[in-house]
Amino acid sequence: MKFEMLQHYRVLDLCEGISQFGGYLLASLGAEVIAVEPPGGVDSRHAGPFVDDEPNPERSLAHWAYNQGKQSVTADLTTDEGRQRLLDLVRGADALIEDAPVGHMASLGLAYDELAAVNPAIVHASVTPYGSTGPRSTWAGSDLTAVAGSGFLHASGDKDRAPVRVSGVPQSFLQAAGDAAAATLIALREAQRSGLGQHVDISAMESMTHGQPQNLSPRVNANPVDRLAGGLSLGGVDVPMLFPCADGNTICVALMGAAFAPFTERLVAWEAEEGFADEEIQAVDWETVAAEVLSGQRSPEIIAKSFMTHARFMATKTTDELWAAAFERNILITPSALVSDLLTNPHFADRDFWREVELDGGRSARFCGPLVHFSADAPQRTPVVPTLGGDNDSVNLERRPHAAATVAANDGPSSDGSELPLAGLKVVEFSWVIATPSAVRILADYGATVVKVETEGRPDTMRTVNPFVDEEAHPDNSVGYGVYNAGKRSLSLDLSKPESRQVVEDLIRWADITTESWAPGAAARMGFGYDDFSAINPQIIMLSSSLLGQSGPYSSLAGYGFMAAAIAGFYEITGWPDRGPAGPYGPYTDFLAPRVIVASLMAALERRDRTGTGCYIDISQTEAALHYLAPAILDASINGRDPQRCGNEDPHMSPHGVYPSAGEDQWVAIACTDDRWTSLADTIGLAGDGAAGWDQAVRRERSAEIDDAISAWTSGRNNAEAAETLQASGIDAYPVNNAQGCCDDVQLTAREHHIDVPQSHRGTMWTQNCRTRMSRTPPVVWRGGPCLGEDNFEVLTEFLGYDADRVADLAAAEVLS
């Protein structure tokens, strides 16, 4: 019989807003998800955009985007009858996800302890702006202020203006909801063993720190990151990623170091052919120049000159010319797309990504399709959105039967004998950089034994990326590598040596999961494809992560998350309406995909444990990221409207922005709801001018006047003081943390977000704690990122059973290098 991944799980979704993405992710993997709504419907039903811009709770695109495949029941939780209805649902459920303010569920008598009294196995996940604990946990919060506290906002935007968030679709609660879904599945796996549930605590602010290892710079004596409109910095020189071209914008990753040098060399050769790159630029060794600049051996002016050359060259080319060259010349370059461009992109059509739904008037809408592609038993759900209360009379309140698992994780306890949720799970990782390594790190945090395979000749690129401790460039000194690889073992294995093949095969026999992020098709060409591995271990789960997936006309495009973010449309919606794109910071899709990766791996494990067979997972980082823009994609599909760059404005709140505070490049974020405007006007001294009575329409008309008044007030205070004063009046505000601000932030500190852990090269190394917290089986970060090859002997002897002579033979053959 066909098995749909999570078909044995029932999840209650009480989320009011965009955090509904968590339940949607679980539904897309086969879980039964029941949306529990108040009689008037959840907030998302009343938030635009709407079909044809006509408000209707059944035609909200914000609601459609993340409620496909769910059921809907109504319950008024302010009444005894409604609370009892929810408790009846809890008795038959496995998990519950909610995004209520801290303390609200407890005020209703529906906190985790009350739910567990009804069903001891229930997993209860809470998504809040700043987490369920800590001195600022009860502060008012929103997307803007959660992003502000994370450090991500300060790094995004133009240097000469305020930091700027991603426009169009709020991102922080989407990332938090993805974390909630992934953590819920981890907790459910543990509950299968113990029979006990627990509370899962998700902070949207901490979720947004995922791609921010630079926040640790002050703790490791490294230079902080500047705000660089989506680019980077090297030796004090701006390293842009986005360039204006003849008919739009393009992303070009012309970086330095072993992983990037071949691509940059090919770009410079093209520039030289057309007379743009002079002899000095052509003579640069792109593999070593960054290290030379950082060590003071060479002036950073050569970096500045090279990027001026790239800018002059790009300005002469059309997006079509640059896109063609990406394939013909194997250059890391891609046009920056509008959201509407996605709908006509032939690659997504070829991969059957879109789900067409007929609307009235002969029209159709395009919904985002699969988050990942499974080789077996992939859930096939049509994008049907439930009507409000449409399942009141049909929903099943009985406990859902759980078929007994036929296969457990490969025999053997985890190395430290812990009782963490994933104790005993074994993972072999051939992936690198951010997306998949950071997902696998979550597995390690919860007890999985992870062996990361690298080689000295081709180490993980993150080992070459700053910040470095004490600004010392060294492969075991990268803070980012440590953040994404904490808790793993390192095996240095030269896969070009014939003797390595037997080691790889033995690793696959040992493992439950393996991941890779080589170029599409490379694994199969090496003899390391899923067919090869499943012949060795039929229970193996293999995940391949790439920019655009393993199939489709553009699948061969080499690249990084900067490029996927451009293809997905994120650059064109980040910045100011009177300027070009100004972000987002970093390889943005690398920050989005990990939640989907973890959830998909946990779903595949559920299937494996019940069927006895593994499967193959193909994840396109770009396709996973498109779900984070789903409401905007529906708006473009139905209403023909592209989201525009709008700075920090918001369609539902005004004023809503980032304002200067005392000190250089210091800011505070403020998001004012209608019911808080009078308090804000009084605080900043506008109430006496009759401003207290201005409705939102008037406030938008007079936004410049209001912004000036707020700026005058905030400029005389440090950002923490300003935020604390506003929060005392219930006004949503938060300091826009830079790296030092994150290190000093009382909320992050109270939640032990930054931790100092053992690391062989330094003795100890600062890293980020796990983004998800569980009440009964909290994550454990037992070490920092491993030094290259430091666990060779342990892995080969204790995990694979090799004797010392065999290890010595491998070392003599230079296989372990």
Model pLDDT, residue 407? 39
The three-state secondary structure class of 37 is: strand
d(CA 44, CA 50): 11
**Hey, what are 628's tokens?**
């984070």
Q: In this predicted model, which residue has the larger pLDDT, 114 or 365?
A: 114
Model pLDDT, residue 410? 45
Model pLDDT, residue 334? 96
Q: What is the mean pLDDT of residues 235-250?
A: 88
Nearest to 149 by CA among 643, 739, 801, 728: 739
Q: Name which of 49-63, 221-235, 458-472, 601-615 the model is least confident about.
A: 221-235
- Band (417; pLDDT cuts 50, 70, 90): very low
105-152, pLDDT tens digit by residue?
Answer: 999 999 999 999 999 999 999 999 999 999 999 999 999 999 999 999
Q: What is the mean pLDDT of residues 495-508?
A: 97
Q: pLDDT averaged over the chain? A: 94
Model pLDDT, residue 3? 59
Q: What is the mean pLDDT of residues 695-710?
A: 96
Alpha helices in 405-521 (DSSP H): 435-445, 479-485, 500-510
Model pLDDT, residue 296? 86
Model pLDDT, residue 418? 44
Q: Is the CB of residue 284 less than 8 Å from the CB of residue 302?
A: yes
713-733, pLDDT tens digit by residue?
Answer: 999 999 999 999 999 999 999
Q: What's the order of all strands across the beta sheet hosting 333-335?
A: 242-245, 248-252, 333-335
Kindly tell me if the per-residue pLDDT of 411 is higher than 70: no
Report the 10 Å Cβ neighbour count for 221: 12
772-790, pLDDT tens digit by residue?
Answer: 999 999 999 999 999 999 9
736 class by beta-carbon count within 10 Å (0-12 exposed, 13-18 middle, 19+ buried): buried
Q: What is the mean pLDDT of residues 254-265?
A: 91
The three-state secondary structure class of 759 is: strand
User: Locate tokens 């690129």: which residue?
Assistant: 461
596-619, pLDDT tens digit by residue?
Answer: 999 999 999 999 999 999 999 999
The three-state secondary structure class of 107 is: helix
Q: Is the CB of residue 452 less than 8 Å from the CB of residue 517?
A: no
Sequence-separated (6 or more) residues with CB below 8 Å from residue 333: 250, 251, 252, 253, 267, 322, 323, 325, 326, 563
168-192, pLDDT tens digit by residue?
Answer: 899 999 999 999 999 999 999 999 9
**What stretch of H or E contains 175?**
helix 172-194
Kindly tell me if the per-residue pLDDT of 689 is higher than 80: no
Query: Which residue type, as a one-letter code, is found at position 477?
Result: N
Model pLDDT, residue 23? 98
435-467, pLDDT tens digit by residue?
Answer: 999 999 999 999 999 999 999 888 999 998 889
274 class by beta-carbon count within 10 Å (0-12 exposed, 13-18 middle, 19+ buried): exposed
39-53, pLDDT tens digit by residue?
Answer: 999 999 999 899 999
Model pLDDT, residue 473? 85
User: Which percentage of the chain shows pLDDT scores above 90?
Assistant: 85
Model pLDDT, residue 380? 66
d(CA 4, CA 33): 14
Model pLDDT, residue 381? 65
d(CA 379, CA 363): 26
* Domains of the chain, earliest start first: 426-548+753-813 (3.40.50.10540), 655-748 (3.30.1540.10)
